[in-house]
Amino acid sequence: MRGIQVIVVAGTLMAGAVGLKAQEPFLSISEPPYIPTAQTEWRSLMVSIAAHGAASGFDAWTSWQRPERNSLLASNGRFDASSAYRKAGIFAGASLIEVLVVYKWGKKHPWLARACRIANFTSAAMLASAGIHNLSNRR
31: in domain? no
Domain tally, the chain: 1
124: in domain? yes
The tens place of each residue's pLDDT in the chain, 139 residues long, gives 566 665 655 655 555 555 555 555 555 566 666 665 555 578 999 999 999 999 999 999 999 999 888 888 887 889 999 999 999 999 999 999 999 999 998 888 888 999 999 999 999 999 999 999 999 987 6
| Whole-prediction pTM | 0.69
Phi/psi for 67 (5° steps) reads -60, 140
**What is the pLDDT at residue 93?**
97
Phi/psi for 5 (5° steps) reads -65, -40
Phi/psi for 48 (5° steps) reads -70, -35
Are 13 and 86 within 8 A, CB to CB?
no
30: in domain? no
12: in domain? no
28: in domain? no
Q: Print the domain residue range for 114.
A: 37-136
98: in domain? yes
27: in domain? no
19: in domain? no
